[in-house]
Structure 1
């Protein structure tokens, strides 16, 4: 993995597929993959082989996650967005002749969506021409005063009491907390169907992988980050950064799942409506899938990669 040092002295590790192949890989258009809470760049391992055929994939370990530094500060989505900005700037070449080297695509999963929304609010949507948001509501907490209730918010992590309970479990038994997250994020655990074909060995392998990645982080730090993440309301910010009048031309694909243990699909799908609201040109598309859960890119990597590549190529996105 490659690494860079942030302005607050934190080392961020990242995958760069442009350095893994021949010189032609360095010239491919750039694609950023941003993982979610307690994950790492390794969660994209099933997607990178397909996506890297056409793109130079950059996949960071967020601070506090994976092999990046485990600092005691920076547990805010805003700081993670600043880290993303610093990473993007590493690849800026003002003398680049090829325009495709100046344009990025991005995929955010869960927390990764919030990081992209924050990035857009702070730095505009440039240089990203396309963004994919995977199964994340623009507000995790319940807010009945605006009609944002169980139909849209996080299924369980949606109020102060739930957050406090989660932080306590993280402190006393982090593995227990992480296993709960895993159970909510894989469709065959959250909403099992008779047609699910995972073997016992595959289920064990999945749990061991995600638990191993999660346990790399500091439980106290995770708890602080979740407190920030759940409290942030991105609804108006998304309209301001992506919607009519924003000046943004970035195209958006929102993917939600009917089998996510984290969100009812209506929650994440509202993001497309926020981008398109009042616009003559509808730049946001939405797809609701049934074959994967919150981590649908892990459960259906071929389908997921195909949808992303269709979207990046400005083709019709078809779920199959």
Structure 2
């Protein structure tokens, strides 16, 4: 298994698919996930791209230090990986799902968007907590206040299985907003998905996860997105925002606000958005063929 070492000495695990001579495409998973969550996507996406899938620190097979539970640290890890692989500036595409989107926003703030040709942000609002100008029509449905965060942190430390089952229920569209014909409780798909995501999540430390979520929920990326991608930024990076009408994490208007932030007054319309109904927060897992087509059409 290939590893690289971050600048603080922590080992980062990654896997690659496709030809190294193809345009690079980085996949970034979300909170409590791992590179394994893209197992249904890499074969299709790597036909014409050099796909690189990273295990975020604290997740998967990457190092699990006691510290480093900050989005900015994860963005630096991404920079270390890009430098390690010597990926060509301006030719990289990346998909950030959930927390992965925030990592890309942080990367852009720290290092500009110059590295990236195209970016895809999947079902992540630029702010999770409710504020005077940001309420339930945009923010996170569950973790949106200091009280909610404290409860989640406590459960992650004392009863991680219950915490992860809650995440699974919110992130799979057929559980958060079931429709006729969806997998039912007790079905093989229901059981298999639960077992898979539990196995992935339980590999991390609950205290570390809780600290990371505290940092993640506290960050307001709205002004940063405008500065990095919007009017006057000189960014040429094209952006696709994917939201879900069946996400148990965000109302679709939250993630789609990113499109407005980037395009407002820009005149170039570098960002486009789509709200899908064929999956939830983890739509790439639930309907991989539809998600892969959406990605490949955008990447061209």
Task: Give the TM-score normalised by the residue count of structure 2.
Answer: 0.98
> Is residue 245 of structure 2 the alignment partner of residue 258 of structure 1?
yes
5 Å matches for 1:191-270?
Answer: 191-197=177-183, 200-270=187-257
Q: What stretches of structure 1 move > 6 A for 4+ residues in a row?
A: none
Match of 1:74 among 65, 68, 75: 68
Structure 2 distance, partners of 1:280, 1:152, is 25
Q: CA deviation at 1:101?
A: 8.0
Q: What is the distance in 2 between the residues matched to 1:246 and 1:101?
A: 17
Structure 1 residue 56, shift from structure 2 partner: 0.6
CA contact (8 A) 1:256 1:265 kept: yes
User: Taking structure 1 as reference, are residues 82 and 48 closer, same or farther at Cα in structure 2, changes over 3 Å only?
Assistant: same
Q: Does 1:181 align with 2:167?
A: yes
Q: 1:102-128 CA deviation, whole Å, 9 max, x = no partner?
A: 611100000000000000000011211
Alignment of 1:164 onto 2:150 = yes
Tell me, yes or no, if the aligned pair for 1:296 and 1:304 is still in contact at 8 Å: yes
Displacement after TM superposition at 1:91 (Å): 2.0
SS of 1:36's equivalent?
coil
- 8 Å CA contact 1:28–1:101 kept in 2: the answer is no
**3-state SS, counterpart of residue 81 of structure 1:** helix
Distance 1:165 1:127 in 2: 38
Partner residue, 1:124: 112
Matching of residue 310 in structure 1 with residue 293 in structure 2: no
Structure 1 position 196, deviation (Å)? 1.4
- Structure 2 stretches lacking a partner, 5+ long: none
Paired with 2:109 and 2:298, the residues of 1 have a C-alpha distance of: 23
Q: Matched residue of 2:130: which SS?
A: coil
* Aligned mates of 2:16, 2:54 — CA distance in 1: 9
Provide the rounded CA distance (Å) in 1 between the counterparts of 2:183 and 2:165: 21
Q: Is the contact between residue 30 and residue 101 of structure 1 (CA under 8 Å) also seen in structure 2?
A: no
Match of 1:318 in 2: none
Judge conservation of contact 1:105–1:131 (CA < 8 Å) in 2. yes
CA distance in 1, matches of 2:71, 2:135: 23
Q: Which deviations, in whole Å up to 9, do the C-alpha atoms of 1:45-93 show, x marking residues without a partner?
A: 0000100001010000000000101100110000000000010111226
Alignment of 1:8 with 2:8, yes or no, is yes
Contact 2:183 2:190 in 1 (8 A): no
Alpha-carbon distance in structure 2 between the residues aligned to 1:172 and 1:74: 21
**2:50 maps to which residue?**
56
Distance, in Å, in 1 between the alignment partners of 2:201 and 2:281 is 16
| TM-score normalized with structure 1 length | 0.92
SS at 1:26 equivalent:
coil
Q: In the TM superposition, what are the counterparts of 1:67-106 in structure 2 within 5 Å?
A: 67-92=61-86, 103-106=91-94
Distance (Å, rounded) in 1 between the aligned partners of 2:169 and 2:40: 20
Aligned pairs for 1:146-165 within 5 A: 147-165=133-151
User: How far has the Cα of 1:195 moved from its partner?
Assistant: 2.6
Alpha-carbon separation, structure 1, partners of 2:21 and 2:194: 37
